């Protein structure tokens, strides 16, 4: 799934709309699963206002809209975060715990940085 996400993101770099948007949707879905809109917003934005704005942009993409520069950059950033974390299934579980209010979002970022430093 990670390889598919990377491939789709790379293909999006060389495509025009609407193919670019389709590749970005596919990349985020392969990377973060069916709940990719929510998971990406929590993964990438610690501030609630910024998270809300990103979520709105991602919802537009998910509903079939065209990608924006923000969405394209967010896809790249999400790939980097997952690669830095190293354990994709554990990261998805962590994001779901944040979404269920079982864990604070800032704790996830600290854990990611600790894993990256250990490598």
Q: CA 41, CA 56: separation in Å to the nearest integer?
A: 9
pLDDT, tens digit (0-9, with 9 covering 90-100), for 52-90: 999 999 999 999 999 999 999 999 999 999 999 999 999
DSSP string computed for 58-95: HHHHHTTPPP-HHHHHHHHHHHHHHHHH--HHHHHHHH
Tell me the HSE value of 96 on the side-chain side, using a 13 A CA sphere: 10
- The fraction of the chain above a pLDDT of 70, given in percent, is 87
> The pTM is what?
0.85
Per-domain residue ranges of the chain: 2-118
Which tokens in the block code for residue 99?
A: 């979404």
């Amino acid at each position: 799934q990670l390889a598919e996400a990377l491939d789709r993101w790379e293909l999006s770099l060389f495509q025009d709309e609407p193919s670019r948007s389709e590749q970005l949707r596919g990349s985020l879905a392969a990377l973060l699963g069916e709940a990719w809109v929510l998971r990406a917003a929590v993964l990438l934005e610690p501030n609630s206002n910024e998270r809300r704005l990103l979520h709105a942009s991602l919802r537009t993409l998910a509903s079939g809209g065209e990608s924006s520069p923000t969405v394209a950059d967010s896809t790249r950033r999400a790939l980097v975060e997952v690669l830095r974390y190293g354990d994709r299934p554990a990261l998805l579980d962590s994001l779901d715990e944040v979404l269920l209010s079982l864990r604070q979002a800032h704790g996830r970022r600290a854990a990611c940085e600790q894993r990256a430093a250990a490598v």
